[in-house]
Amino acid sequence: MAETHAHGRGPQASPTLLRNYVGGRFIDGGRPFDIVDPATGRVHAIAHEADKAIVDAAVAAARAAVEGDWGSMTLAKRRALLVAVADRIEQRFDDFLEAEIADTGKPYELAHHLDIPRGAANFRVFADAIANLPTETFEMDTPDGGKALNYALRKPLGVVGVISPWNLPLLLMTWKVAPAMACGNAVIVKPSEETPSTTTLLGEVMSEVGMPDGAFNVINGFGPNSTGEMLTSHPGVRAITFTGETRTGAAIMRSAAPTVKALSFELGGKNPAIVFADADIEAAIGGLSRAVFLNTGQVCLAPERIYVERPVFDQFVAGIKAKAEALKPGLPHEEGVNFGPLISDEHRRKVLGYYQSALDEGATVVTGGGVPKLAGEAAGGFFVEPTIWTGLPHDAKVCREEIFGPCAAIIPFDTEEEAVRMANDTEYGLASSIWTTNLSRAHRVGKVMEVGISWVNCWFLRDLRTPFGGSKMSGVGREGGEHSINFYSEPTNICIKL
């Protein structure tokens, strides 16, 4: 393992070197930049920013792969390689686990049970999906009284740029890479500058399983005036898929427009949850406390606005307060730790700015609102307290803007119509969570939520075959099952006169 090694946490551990992976090999060059462990604030790795020459080389290598061994490979062999990638991720589970934890600071149990298993599973899911999706066939009458047969073939787009986020680095990167490669595209991944370790490790895996050179490439760097902008504007890239904040999505759209690239965006959210008085309140408290605080609130689907019917408002607030105060922050491997840091000091300053804004607008702080006092190495980490507010108006700043932290405003309502109106009164439309035992209401309210996914009596429950994405400013397009396959391929109709 030449490029990465075990991510030690002791003070003497040397930083891991993360180079760019182009054409089946790791290459030198590019300005170095630090990767910081959010749990300690210490540099744990050094990555190399890809310059224009490296980006051009990655596009050329990807193009050569599409026109060469990768593009001419049979579907059966391509699927076998994707399954081999999944197998190898599982064989190197501990390497991926340590790399993901070092980049994100998230608790061991979370990364162990969610991030790494889903990273491997994505390759199996889409290896199966590509083999089981039909295409169209139509027989038609011709003007001369004869017949013609029309059938469609799926073809890869060519070179696909993948820009992945820092909150679930392996999971969300492979969620894009797996279907793109299943369709026969070559991919160029620009991971977040905060969390490139598992993407680099995946480059090693690609070489180990015999993936053709250039089918998978990794270029490190930043966004504007750096690697990301070079990738999104490159004329040799046919499509861009991105998960991240809405402003960045808009910038990518502008950069990609001159070359008319296909775009798939999963963007920000200001997700609502609605708890009706007839709900199983204990289930709602458990489900929504997980939703608000999982991954320190750094989940695009997390609800930051919770509307609770007035008869059960006090009970719900007390319950979620208890859940928040039972969380244990600390270093990822420490026993009992289930609450990690934010990704960076910059992001912590942003979140704490919202905490102050809530106070300025008259919030009652039910719990949290500051920085926990931690000892040892964790004292240098980017931790904040899990935070709940009441007493805020629906139009308060913290009820309108995405915070991406472990916090939520809880607001009472009196009627179903009022709850629906407030829930939909946002420029975003990613997800909602509705809690009720009334079956008619569940269908009725779930249908009118202006979101891409509407959960009832649950949250974060995903069938990977179903459409996933956002409405309004929360995204463009859908991912999952055939929806991913349809984005990463284009149909060609063959018309044969019989």
Question: Mind telling me the catalytic residues?
Answer: 266, 300
List the beta strands (DSSP E) in 345-384.
364-367
Q: How many CB atoms lie within 10 A of CB 60?
A: 15
Give the span between the Cα atoms of 46 and 33, in whole angstroms: 6
Beta bridge partners of 432: 454
As a dihedral over the C-alpha atoms of residue 254, residue 256, residue 261, residue 263, rounded to 10 degrees, the angle is: -60
Say if CB 366 and CB 411 are below 8 A apart: no
CA 192 centroid distance within chain: 11
* Cα angle 26-263-192, degrees, rounded to a multiple of 5: 40
Distances in whole angstroms, Cα of residue 341 to Cα of each of 152, 167, 225, 440: 49, 11, 29, 40
Looking from the CA of 33 toward its CB, the CA atoms found within 13 Å total 17
Distances in whole angstroms, Cα of residue 121 to Cα of each of 31, 115, 127, 215: 34, 10, 10, 20
For residue 481, what are the contacts with CB-CB under 8 A and spacing of at least 6? 129, 464, 465, 466, 467
Say if CB 407 and CB 390 are below 8 A apart: no
Say if CB 162 and CB 241 are below 8 A apart: yes
> Strand 387-390 to strand 407-413: parallel, antiparallel, or no bridges (unpaired)?
parallel
For residue 485, what are the contacts with CB-CB under 8 A and spacing of at least 6? 126, 129, 130, 133, 154, 179, 182, 183
Say if CB 411 and CB 396 are below 8 A apart: no
Give the span between the Cα atoms of 336 and 351, in whole angstroms: 25
Tokens representing 463?
């069938």
Instruction: Report which of 452, 494, 492 is spatially closest to residue 471, judged by C-alpha positions.
Output: 452
**Length of the chain counted residue by residue:** 498
